[in-house]
A and B are shown apart, each in its own frame.
Chain A
Amino acid sequence: MMDWLPENIWFSVGLKVFFALMMVGAVMTMAGYSVLAERKVSAWMQGRVGPNRTVLPLVDYIPVIGPLLKKLGIFQPLADGLKFLFKEEIVPGHVNKFYYYLAPLIALVPALTTMTVLPFGQMYWPDGSVTTLALADLEVGILFVFAVSSLGVYGIALAGWSSNNKYSFLGGIRSSAQMISYELAMGLSLLPVFLWVSVPGAQTSGLSISGIANFQEGSAWLFLVQPLSALIFLIALFAETNRLPFDMPESETDLVGGFHTEYGSFKFGIFFVAEYAHIVIGSAIFTLLFLGGWHFLPFMSDPWPPNWIGTLLGVGWFLAKTIFLIFFFIWIRWTLPRFRYDQVMHLGWTKLLPLALANLIIYVLIVTLIDQPSSLF
């Protein structure tokens, strides 16, 4: 029964650990540079320059490239990370120590776990076969992402509670209420997508992320077929990643720092990185579900050759779309003001949820009409 465990288990486990570390490295690097992008884009949008001083020793003396890298702030994330690491670690006397230390870890672990099922390209083997590039291409991939990312709320809720501080506590409570509310709309908005992808005689399960991405090859991207689903999913994604205009748990203007008011140094850094890792993974998921993943353009077959060059170009194209969405997240943050808390709840329960339900019913009718026209009339 357990034939899926291969004979030489230590070799395969070691290989998986190596791949997992590479994946963690890639996502964490992207998260680090999203912080830089946030600072740079906000600076440009406000007519400022942004980080332009940090530079490694000697790099500054390389002609043209050195000053350019310095001006772009390429080395800023390194300095930021070291700053978090070397700051004095202060634990306030009034906190619940165990949960105070546990909370940042609980916030980060789900963000790093969801990336195991994230496909990021297609491998064209020399013998003509095609496999998906992912750590584990699960049949129920998208459900796995939902399940694990729903555990992330414990980090914020526990941080708020264990700090024994009214501002932190309000931040934690708001965050859990917001996440519960928007998870519903998020799940419901994806049901029409699963319906649409599970055409009769489909080989892959409609819940597989790579299956949904490959379904869009050479045909319409799903955000063209299901614009309402894409819109609701995008709004819920902003709410689930706690980004402005939904950053209720933080909302500096009325809650000081929200759930991380009592956190400093590296523990705060972990919260920070977890938030940006969520944004990176959320952007990747949206790209895979609605923007065709690693496939070229809607209604066009992939122009790259089916060999290793094609593999690299596909992964690069996927990354380009993901980075555009990260930019979109930042763009929205520096454009829209924050919602009031009751407005967030109102939008979630009385607007998005009924809209997602109506969307589902309409697509059930449309899919039935396409598959079995005689059953309706």
Chain B
Amino acid sequence: MMSTVDLLFWLFATLSVGGGLSMVFSKHPVSAAMFMIVSLVGVAALFVLLESFFLAVLQVLVYAGAVMVLFLFIIMLLDVGPDAAKQKITNWKTGIFGFFTAALLVYLLVFLGNSNDFVNEGTSSWPALIEDSATSGQSLPFSTNVSSFGYGLMTKYMLPVQIAGFMLLAAMIGVIILSKKDVQQKNDG
């Protein structure tokens, strides 16, 4: 007998995997973008089933709401038609990257799926132990509480957060320089 949660899981899993496949196989870029949004929202719904409301909301806010708007914006602005998807993929670089992505997926499914490290019973409330483990060697207790995300990021994982922020800043400055260079060359020439 399938429970309601199982039913919901299969519904949203089908939605996210089906959305992903349709994205790859759809002819028109706008349809592909819309299917990707469906897939991302499906993943967000799976997060909700895991009681991780914060991750679900971030998934919709960042990916479905902001990144995909930019994608759609660019697709519409450049007016990419169905012809753009027709070109044959014979590039050897594409093949190598495709192979590595597929290998990573297989690795995750086969090896990490079998290990028990990630199958922790979580809590949605603020765990009491968190203050001790923030400074000592042991890992932070698993929790989906919003404050525990912030606490972990601002104490134990402060350095990774700052490095990630620094890299994003560097990327942003890089983009500005690259785009400005083009304008300058046009003005000179």
The residues of A with any CB-CB pair to B shorter than 8 Å are 1-2, 4-5, 9, 99, 138-140, 143-144, 146-148, 150-151, 153-154, 157-158, 160-161, 169, 172-173, 176-177, 179-180, 183, 205, 207
Contacts and interface: CB of A to CB of B under 8 A. Distances in A.
B106 to A, nearest CB: 28
A205 B34 CA distance: 33
Given A2-B5, A99-B30, A140-B146, A154 B69 contact: yes
A148 B4 contact: no
B4 A207 contact: no
A300 B34 CA distance: 50
Interface stretch (B17-25, B58-66, B157-165): B58-66
B37 interface: yes
B70 A180 contact: yes
A9 B4 contact: yes
Contacts of B73: 157, 173, 176-177, 180
Which applies to chain A's interface (DSSP): helix, strand, loop or mixed?
helix
Contacts of A158: 30, 34
A176 B121 contact: no
B4 A5 contact: yes
B69 A147 contact: no
- B-side interface size class: 20 to 34
Contacts of A4: 51
A143 B145 CA distance: 14
A205 B147 contact: yes
B69 A150 contact: yes
6 contacts: A143-B54, A147-B60, A151-B64, A160-B76, A169-B76, A179-B69
B61 A157 contact: no
Given A4-B51, A146-B61, A173 B69 contact: no
A183 B4 contact: no
Contacts of B130: none
Contact of B66 (A1, A148, A160, A183): A183
B84 interface: no
Interface of B: 3-5, 30, 34, 37, 51, 53-54, 57-58, 60-61, 64-66, 69-70, 72-73, 76-77, 121, 145-147
Nearest to B72: A157
B108 to A, nearest CB: 23
A151 B37 CA distance: 10
B1 to A, nearest CB: 14
B49 to A, nearest CB: 8
Given A1-B121, A5-B5, A147 B53 contact: no
Contacts of B37: 151, 154
Nearest to A2: B5
Contacts of B54: 139-140, 143
Contacts of B145: 139
Given A143-B61, A205-B146, A150 B76 contact: no
A4 B145 CA distance: 15
Contact of B72 (A9, A140, A176): A176
B76 A139 contact: no
A67 to B, nearest CB: 49
A163 to B, nearest CB: 12
Contacts of B64: 147, 150-151
A261 B84 CA distance: 28
Contact of A180 (B34, B60, B69, B121): B69
B69 A157 contact: yes
B146 A150 contact: no
A180 B66 contact: yes
| A-B pairs with lowest CB-CB distance, top 9 | A150-B65, A147-B61, A147-B60, A143-B57, A147-B57, A176-B73, A2-B5, A140-B57, A161-B76
A139 B53 contact: yes
A161 B64 CA distance: 19
Given A140-B53, A151-B60, A205-B146, 18 more contacts: A1-B51, A4-B51, A99-B30, A139-B53, A147-B61, A147-B65, A150-B60, A151-B37, A154-B37, A157-B69, A157-B72, A169-B76, A172-B76, A176-B69, A179-B69, A180-B73, A183-B65, A183-B66
